[in-house]
């Protein structure tokens, strides 16, 4: 996993003070990293348009223009005059080379957006909106410097943003690049070296970007084993029985040795899935909430009171009963609407889904601070997992998963790993990665996947 940072100005300042690097040196390294990437990947192309604002993001672009001059047909467009001393100095340097500064936008093979960096903290003006609209209309390779212009310092998009194919961000990964709202704009994200290696530039963080290598699948390494070695998951099947059955099938395919569904109704189940009306004596994990519908509150309270590891989903996030058990180490997997309900029940805040989606990291942090034992998995285009004020972001999600039943599969995966003695946080992380990475392997039309397809892909990981 990689570290994420809410801001990097303090990291730049640390470079000045601890490593005796100057603003000028950091800027040169930033531009050199961009120039190297462009030269290594696009030397077969001819023209490049670099669009710069008045701040240091624009100064990075002006520096880039100097470094690419003569390698490409470089056109430099200044949306506004440089304001800082370093920007003015970089402009003098390109003017000394005789580089072309244009006064109108025009198409190019490559467009580099250097209008605004991560410091954007106010709405775009009409001129900026028009510039971004024009750049988005071009059929070009689009590269954003630091962050696509129009995405503000907490990852929100107020009106429009530059639609980058690649974002080359400076020094370290920023949280603002990984909001759900930013996902359609950032493209591939690359970190530019600023003169020291990342492990020296970065400091401690409470936020992390998950990688595929963080997934720990439940491979069976013991030769002397039996079905009980790999746990016994109990899945509570409610009145909307399909959800629990989907979760059960996913869980069994993810390694749990035994699986029982708890239901008082006769269910049409595969022969390898058992059914009972009480919790099994050797139960090692419980999955509940999926399609629960109407239920006996006292029965649910008894289940929640047990010390058996649990994953809770869906309907229970609308019942204040859940607040009685948030001092336990259990896994919660709400989607945004459910999380809004949970925040209200817990008296943290009363917000709608739009407000939540605009500030996902903020509200996850608030919940995690109040309930440090809980493992929270907030579903979304980018999944956020938290425990004890540490956040982990899974960006592998895709629209393939935007189908009913996908969340039930995830609940089954988490329950399966809990039954196999994974720690709750580890279960949530590995199950979420398996869930999203398997969906990416689905080869048919991206609108067509059904839960059984997803379970089959997970079995192939």
* pLDDT score at 267: 85
Distance CA 393, CA 372 (A): 17
DSSP-derived letter for residue 315 is G
Residue-level pLDDT at 133: 96
Burial class (CB in 10 A: 0-12, 13-18, 19+), 387: buried
Q: Which pLDDT score is estimated for 239?
A: 81
Nearest alpha carbon to residue 324 among 290, 340, 300: 300
Q: What is the mean pLDDT of residues 13-29?
A: 94
Is the pLDDT assigned to residue 171 strictly greater than 80?
yes
Rounded distance between C-alpha atoms, residue 314 and residue 329, angstroms: 18
The DSSP line for 140-173 is SEEEEESS-TTB-TTS-BSS-----SEEEEESSE
Residue 294, pLDDT score: 82
Confidence of residue 74 (pLDDT cuts 50, 70, 90): very high
Residue list, annotated binding site for (6S)-NADPHX: 56-60, 117-123, 146, 243, 291, 335, 408
Mean per-residue pLDDT, 101-129: 90
Show the CA angle centred on residue 169, arms to residues 96 and 20, nearest 5°. Answer: 65
Residues 6+ apart with CB under 8 A from 347: none
Q: How far apart, in Å, are the Cα atoms of 87 and each of 103, 163, 170, 172, 262?
A: 18, 25, 17, 22, 67
Give the pLDDT band of residue 120 (cuts 50, 70, 90): confident
Q: Could you list the residues known to form a binding site for AMP, using ranges.
A: 407
Name the band, by pLDDT with cuts 50, 70 and 90, for residue 3: very high
Flag whether pLDDT at 108 surpasses 80: yes
Question: In which region does residue 193 sit, left (phi positive, over 0), alpha (psi from -120 to 50) or beta (all else)?
Answer: beta
Residue 121, pLDDT > 80, answer no
Using CB atoms within 10 Å of the CB of residue 345, give its burial: 0 to 12 exposed, 13 to 18 middle, 19+ buried. middle
Question: According to the model, what pLDDT value does residue 2 have?
Answer: 97
pLDDT of residue 424 exceeding 90, the answer is: yes
Residue 392 token pair:
């982990």
pLDDT at 222: 87
Sorted by sequence, the CB contacts under 8 Å of residue 332 that are 6+ apart come out as: 311, 312, 313, 317, 342, 374, 375, 376, 377
Annotated binding residues: 56-60, 113, 117-123, 146, 149, 243, 291, 335, 407-408
Residue with tokens 């790993």: 417
DSSP 117: -
Residue 119 has pLDDT above 80, yes or no: no
Domains of the chain: 2-205 (3.40.50.10260), 213-459 (3.40.1190.20)
| CA separation for the pair 9, 105 (Å, rounded) | 31
Read off the pLDDT band of 83 (50, 70, 90).
confident
pLDDT given at position 142 = 98
Dihedral of CA atoms 247, 252, 254, 257 in degrees, nearest 10, equals 140
Percent of the chain with pLDDT over 90: 88
Q: Which ranges in 220-372 belong to alpha helices (H)? A: 241-252, 297-305, 336-345, 353-358, 360-370
- The position carrying tokens 């050797």 is 282
Distance CA 410, CA 434 (A): 9
**Above 80 in pLDDT, residue 32?**
yes
How far is it, in rounded angstroms, from Cα 359 to Cα 353? Answer: 10
The H-or-E segment that residue 101 falls in is: strand 101-102
DSSP state for residue 193 in the 8-state scheme: P
Predicted confidence at residue 84, as pLDDT, reads: 87
* Cβ(31)–Cβ(63) below 8 Å: yes
The CA distance from 309 to 385, in Å, is 17
Flag whether pLDDT at 367 surpasses 90: yes
Per the document, the length of the chain is 461
Using CA atoms, how far apart are residues 321 and 414, in angstroms rounded to an integer? Answer: 22
**What are the φ/ψ torsions at residue 244 (nearest 5 degrees)?**
-65, -35
What integer best gives the mean pLDDT of the chain? 94
> From start to end of 108-231, where are the E strands?
110-114, 141-145, 166-170, 173-174, 188-192, 207-209
Question: Mean pLDDT, to the nearest integer, of 274-302?
Answer: 92
Q: Are 180 and 357 in contact (CB under 8 A)?
A: yes
For the cut 90, the answer to whether the pLDDT of residue 271 exceeds it is no
- pLDDT score recorded for residue 109: 97
pLDDT tens, residue by residue, 347-363: 999 999 999 999 999 99
Tens-digit pLDDT profile for residues 180-234: 999 999 999 999 999 999 999 999 999 999 999 999 999 999 889 899 999 999 9
User: Where is the binding site for K(+), in residues?
Assistant: 57, 113, 149
Q: Whose structure tokens read 């190297």?
A: 36
């Amino acid at each position: 996993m990689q570290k994420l940072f809410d801001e990097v100005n303090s990291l730049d300042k640390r470079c000045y003070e601890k490593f005796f690097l100057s603003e000028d040196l950091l800027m040169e390294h930033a531009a050199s990293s961009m120039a190297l990437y462009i030269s290594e990947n696009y030397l077969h192309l001819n023209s490049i348009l670099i669009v710069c604002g008045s701040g240091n993001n624009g100064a990075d672009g002006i520096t880039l223009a100097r470094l690419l001059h003569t390698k490409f047909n470089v056109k430099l467009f200044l949306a506004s005059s440089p304001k800082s001393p370093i920007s003015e100095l970089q402009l003098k340097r390109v003017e000394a080379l005789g580089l072309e500064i244009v006064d109108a936008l025009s198409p190019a093979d490559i467009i580099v957006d250097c209008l605004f960096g991560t410091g954007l903290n106010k709405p775009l003006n009409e001129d900026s909106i028009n510039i971004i609209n024009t750049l988005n209309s071009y059929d070009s390779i689009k590269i954003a410097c630091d962050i696509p212009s129009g995405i503000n310092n907490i990852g929100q998009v107020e009106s429009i943003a530059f639609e980058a194919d690649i974002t080359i961000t400076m020094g370290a990964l920023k949280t603002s690049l990984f909001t759900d709202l930013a996902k359609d704009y950032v493209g591939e994200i690359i970190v530019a070296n600023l003169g020291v290696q990342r492990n020296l530039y970065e400091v401690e963080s409470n936020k992390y970007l998950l990688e595929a290598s963080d997934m720990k699948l439940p491979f069976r390494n013991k030769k002397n084993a039996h079905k009980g070695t790999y746990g016994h998951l109990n899945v509570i099947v409610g009145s909307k029985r399909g959800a629990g059955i989907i979760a059960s099938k996913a869980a069994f395919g993810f390694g749990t040795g035994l699986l029982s569904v708890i239901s008082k109704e006769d269910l049409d189940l595969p022969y390898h899935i058992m059914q009972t009306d009480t919790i099994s004596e050797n139960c090692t994990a419980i999955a509940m909430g999926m399609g629960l519908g109407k239920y006996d509150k006292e029965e649910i309270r008894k289940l929640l009171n047990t010390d058996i590891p649990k994953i809770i989903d869906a309907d229970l996030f609308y019942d204040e009963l859940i607040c009685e058990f948030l001092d336990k180490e259990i896994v919660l997997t709400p989607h945004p609407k459910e999380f809004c309900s949970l925040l209200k029940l817990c008296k943290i805040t009363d917000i709608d889904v739009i407000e939540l989606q605009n500030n996902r990291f903020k509200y996850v942090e608030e919940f995690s601070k109040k309930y440090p034992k809980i493992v929270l998995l907030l579903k979304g285009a980018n999944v956020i997992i938290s425990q004890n004020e540490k956040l982990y972001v899974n960006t592998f999600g895709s629209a393939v998963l935007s189908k009913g039943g996908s969340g039930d599969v995830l609940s089954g995966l988490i329950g399966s790993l809990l039954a196999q003695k994974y720690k709750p946080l580890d279960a949530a992380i590995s199950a979420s990665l398996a869930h999203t990475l398997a969906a990416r392997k689905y080869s048919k039309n991206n609108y067509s996947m059904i839960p059984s397809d997803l379970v089959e892909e997970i079995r192939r990981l």
